[in-house]
Chain A
Amino acid sequence: KAGVTQTPRYLIKTRGQQVTLSCSPISGHRSVSWYQQTPGQGLQFLFEYFSETQRNKGNFPGRFSGRQFSNSRSEMNVSTLELGDSALYLCASSLSGQSSYGYTFGSGTRLTVV
């Protein structure tokens, strides 16, 4: 079956713009989590959605938001982009959102802010 699909793979934006990233989980998976990966901070949790509801949130400013649709696909939005938002954004899906079941990660969207 298809894995976790993230689009687009690469994105270049200008400071001040906004961006929307998309994640399609594995079929049947209802939980989608988002992570930011940077060389300096490593992998940091952004938020998790389950059945269209945000269930968990990391320590990121309000410029970072997300949503989940009824088909479990999720989008992440970053407004008023800053240079420091340049990162690899990873999406992970799981059946129920319980960590013990493990998560399947996508290949990520590499965002560059110039």
Chain B
Amino acid sequence: AQRVTQPEKLLSVFKGAPVELKCNYSYSGSPELFWYVQYSRQRLQLLLRHISRESIKGVTADLNKGETSFHLKKPFAQEEDSAMYYCALSMETSGSRLTFGEGTQLTVNP
């Protein structure tokens, strides 16, 4: 069965420091990977998807099929980046169904 693991429940960095949020997955086929973000008191929103290879708000994520990882990276963290980040996977056979990781709460300190 497919599974998404985010090993860090909490991550705290200082403003201006680089950030890497880890995501590992287990799935034998070709998955689609996503990062979603939930700011305080706001709805869950799509941050980026690996298929489009886009970069939003300065964040990037590369799908590494060999290591089955999809880590999110940002070179310089800002205080407004503080939020809950979820990695999610969609299987080629499931179409619409997303399997989420447990999430990482990122706090960027001034």
Is A bound to B? yes
B11 on interface, CB distance cutoff 8 Å: no
Closest to B6 in A: A42
Closest to A42 in B: B102
Q: Is the interface of A mostly helix, strand, loop or mixed?
A: strand
Please give the distance in Å from A88's CB to the nearest CB on chain B: 10
Considering only CB atoms and an 8 Å cut-off, how many residues of chain A contact the other chain?
28
Contact check, B32 vs A105: say whether CB atoms are below 8 A apart: no
In the assembly, what is the distance between CA of A56 and CA of B98, in Å? Answer: 11
Of B46, B86, B90, which is within 8 A of A43 by CB? B86
Supply 8 A–B pairs (Cβ within 8 Å), ascending by A. Answer: A42-B100, A43-B86, A94-B96, A99-B95, A100-B90, A103-B98, A104-B45, A105-B44
Closest 3 CB pairs of A and B: A99-B90, A43-B100, A105-B44
